[in-house]
Amino acid sequence: MHMAPAERKILLKKEVKAILRLKSDSAFQDMINAGEFPKGFRIGLRRVGWFEDDVNTWLNQRIAERDQMTGV
């Protein structure tokens, strides 16, 4: 069940990159362009955001994929 948008925390690119431990804007953009990470949504003229729960879901899916591959 998804929460209403007003109840969901929005993360900015800097925050998402910190969670993913990425320093490079280009590496982050490459992940998005390759479809390896969800596209954000515009929250201003020059700002893009991601819902925190969407980022956490993406991370949990990567962990589950890893665990399936390693048989954990």
Give the pLDDT means over successive 10-residue stretches in the chain (72 positions).
Answer: 75 97 96 96 96 96 89 66
pLDDT at 38: 95
Instruction: Choose among 17, 27, 1, 16: nearest CA to 50.
Output: 16
> What CA–CA distance (Å, rounded) separates 46 from 61?
29
pLDDT at 13: 96
The answer to whether the beta carbons of residues 16 and 24 sit under 8 Å apart is: no
Burial class of residue 11 (count of CB atoms within 10 Å of its CB; 0-12, 13-18, 19+): buried
Domain segments of the chain as ranges? 9-70
pTM: 0.80
pLDDT at 61: 94
